Amino acid sequence: MSAVRDHLSAAKVYRVLAVLFLIAAPHLPRLPLWASALVIAMGIWRALAAQRTWPMPGALLRNLLAGLALVGIWTQYQTLNGHHAGVALLVVMLAMKLTEMTTRRDYLVVIYLSYFLLITHFLFSQEMIMLLLMFAGALAITSVLIEVNHPQGILPLKRNLRLSGTLMLQAVPLMLIFFVLFPRIPGPLWGIPTDAGAGMTGLSDSMEPGMISELGMSDAVAFRVRFDAEAPPRSELYWRGPVFEYFNGRSWLPGPGSDLPMREQIEFEGPPTVYEMQLEPHGKRWLLALDLPRGPLPEGTSMGRDLVLRHKWDVIDKKLYRLASGTRYNVDSEASERYRQHLLSLPQASNPQTREMVLSWKAQDDAPQAIIATALQHFADQPFHYTLRPPLLMNQHSIDQFVFETRRGFCEHYASAFTFMMRAAGIPARVVTGYQGAERNGDYYIVRQSDAHAWSEVWLDGRGWVRIDPTAAVAPERVELGLGGALPAGEPIPGLARLSRGTLVQLQLRWDQVNAAWNRWVLAYGPELQQNLMAALGMSGLRALLIALTVLTLSSLLIVNLLVARAHQSELERDPVQRIWRRFLGKLKRAGLAPQPSEGPIDLSQRIARQAPKLAGDAERISQLYVRLRYASRQTDPALLKRFRQRVRAFPSRAG
């Protein structure tokens, strides 16, 4: 097979390779090892082909490799769809394309594909830092594009960057228009498949001992919140997340039908607390809310029987929503007999010691209030410890083991044990998970994964659901001061939960402020906000949006066109000879002697002599003057120019 000839200079090839590597590099760790190796090998082959004029792979080898890569990706991901497989396919095929990059056309294909590859980074991260990287990437690709197209070949780096920077800046208005107006599709984008939620941290849809204490080690932001008025006191900041109503002896799980529509009537005391939530994606449906949300719910959300706010779809991108909550409430509803039974159910014969103890309390005083008080007193009096590193509960009766043996636990241990006790005493109860507390940062509050918490809710006749936090009985500091204040000395505390702050932490908090603004103003701009904006501008619905988009696109094209025409115009105005000549050509056109763009002045005057002999003399003289002015001299002779202008002005002369 004959080697493909390489018409491109080595310097250009290196630049394309460098830019491409820059753009593909963040993807490489995500690819299977063989694919990364193939990509790098293809790049090296192309570089050697340019440097040492090695032959590039022939068509047979190329096709074979491409086929194998396709099969490889299919085997790896079981699909070619989805953003992991799709990006892998794109990166690998782009690398293969390098080895057939010989003509200008191939070059352009590679460059345009690079732009596309650049966008795919957004599928994996939408942080602000990524935006900066994308700008740098786009700048680099544009500079290579300029190199390929510029008639002068490779420009000095500074000039090139200035040119590509100008091009990028010119695109910014268009970018802003599209950002605001491009229709946002409600719900998960069809292109984002189920694996999008993988690897997100957050509360889980079941609760086992040890689960929340794991979260407690994480500094990651769970959500940010901005109160319209004063924030409620810290001890009231219970952020409601998933609720668990079914206990299988080890784990707490959601009850059947807990997401059925809420029927409870809730009465709130005091003025509502209004706030704006910026929720980080966690891959599940629930939306965190200050216990309990009241008033109009955000679009696309509903409250279930467990009083949890849920979105229509899994939360896989950042969500911005406004809510009003009341921290003092009275749930006025009569739980149906069946529902109540369900909230009392416990696995048979589990944790007999705890049951026995609870029954002995009940024998003393069977008023629910008294049982609750006894249980909390029990946690407070007995040597229970609050710790992020509880011993493992391996026993079949894990609650017995915790209550009577280890007595060291994190909030989920206490919530689980307390809820179990309540049910054993015949009081309907459930476990609520969520977050407790918040950390002030400027004008908003951060809630981190380390603020994850679990507590109990008991049903009291006449009062409805009442929140009981058994952790507060063991370690009241947890609620007053947060995790850092509640853990015993010597335990490792996640950096940002500590009470004392270093410079590094301050910097991190500053950076979080920047990110919060980015989330609030850019990322959270979704379908709801877009619709609100459009409605405020007097347009509603997708149709109006499309009309607006079309009008704006057309008008910006028109503006660009006018600008280009003006730039062209000004070039003509700099050269009076050309301006006058164009006027002459315009007159000829009106006389039906339209000149061709490739027709020179002498040919033109000869054609006029043939087609319109009457004009021949004038046209001849004008052409002569034009040739003398434009082609025969380097400096314009003013007298000659004057004559030229007069002749053209007088053309066509009746006298001639």
State the DSSP code for 523.
I
403 backbone dihedrals φ, ψ, rounded to 5°: -75, -30
In a 10 Å sphere around its CB, with 0-12 CB exposed, 13-18 middle and 19+ buried, how is residue 156 labelled?
exposed
The span from the CA of 54 to the CA of 50, in Å, is 7
- Contact in structure between 153 and 147 (CB atoms under 8 Å): yes
Residue whose CB is less far from other proteins, 229 or 632? 632
Residue whose CB is less far from other proteins, 101 or 431? 101
Residue whose CB is less far from other proteins, 551 or 650? 650
In a 10 Å sphere around its CB, with 0-12 CB exposed, 13-18 middle and 19+ buried, how is residue 627 labelled?
middle
Q: Which two tokens stand for residue 84?
A: 């992991």
In a 10 Å sphere around its CB, with 0-12 CB exposed, 13-18 middle and 19+ buried, how is residue 176 labelled?
exposed
Residue whose CB is less far from other proteins, 356 or 599? 599
The span from the CA of 160 to the CA of 362, in Å, is 83
- Supply the minimum distance, in Å, between the C-beta of residue 612 and other proteins: 12
Tokens 């607006």 correspond to what residue? 548
Residue whose CB is less far from other proteins, 334 or 599? 599
Residue whose CB is less far from other proteins, 130 or 612? 612
Residue whose CB is less far from other proteins, 281 or 595? 595
The span from the CA of 159 to the CA of 171, in Å, is 19
* CA dihedral of 409, 414, 417, 419, whole degrees rounded to 10: -160
Tally of CB atoms within 10 A around 569? 12
- Supply the minimum distance, in Å, between the C-beta of residue 599 and other proteins: 7
Q: Is the peptide bond before 90 cis (omega within 30 degrees of 0)?
A: no
* 3-state DSSP percent of the chain in helix, strand and coil, to 5: 55, 15, 30
The span from the CA of 474 to the CA of 392, in Å, is 19
- Supply the minimum distance, in Å, between the C-beta of residue 7 and other proteins: 7
- Supply the minimum distance, in Å, between the C-beta of residue 529 and other proteins: 46
Residue whose CB is less far from other proteins, 125 or 653? 653
237-238-239 Cα angle (round to 5): 110
- Supply the minimum distance, in Å, between the C-beta of residue 579 and other proteins: 14
Q: At 646, is the secondary structure helix, strand, or coil? A: helix
Tokens 């570089």 correspond to what residue? 47
Q: At 313, is the secondary structure helix, strand, or coil? A: coil
- Supply the minimum distance, in Å, between the C-beta of residue 2 and other proteins: 12
Residues forming the site for other proteins (CB under 8 A):
7, 103-105, 151, 596-603, 609, 616-617, 620-621, 623-624, 627-628, 630-634, 650, 653, 655-656
Residue whose CB is less far from other proteins, 75 or 596? 596
Residue whose CB is less far from other proteins, 219 or 575? 575
User: Which of 64, 58, 66, 108 shows the shortest CA–CA distance to 90?
Assistant: 66
Residue whose CB is less far from other proteins, 62 or 621? 621
User: Which of 62, 78, 67, 43 shows the shortest CA–CA distance to 4?
Assistant: 62
Tally of CB atoms within 10 A around 276? 16
Residue whose CB is less far from other proteins, 55 or 72? 55
Catalytic residues: 411, 453, 469
- Strands laid side by side in the 429-436 sheet: 289-290, 238-244, 429-436, 452-460, 464-468
Tokens 């509502």 correspond to what residue? 272
Question: Beta strand 289-290 with 238-244: parallel, antiparallel or unpaired?
Answer: antiparallel
The span from the CA of 558 to the CA of 295, in Å, is 47
- Supply the minimum distance, in Å, between the C-beta of residue 43 and other proteins: 25
- Contact in structure between 48 and 54 (CB atoms under 8 Å): yes
- Supply the minimum distance, in Å, between the C-beta of residue 617 and other proteins: 5
- Supply the minimum distance, in Å, between the C-beta of residue 149 and other proteins: 8
Q: How far is CA 458 from CA 255, 371, 422, 430, 471, in A?
A: 15, 11, 8, 7, 15
Tally of CB atoms within 10 A around 394? 7
Q: Which two tokens stand for residue 198?
A: 């993988």
Judged by phi (left if over 0) then psi (alpha if -120 to 50, else beta), residue 137 lies in alpha
- Supply the minimum distance, in Å, between the C-beta of residue 309 and other proteins: 60
Across-strand partners of 408? 385
- Supply the minimum distance, in Å, between the C-beta of residue 13 and other proteins: 18
Would you say the C-alpha torsion 400, 404, 406, 408 has a positive or negative sign?
positive
- Supply the minimum distance, in Å, between the C-beta of residue 97 and other proteins: 19
Tally the C-alpha atoms within 13 A of residue 479's C-alpha that lie toward its C-beta: 18
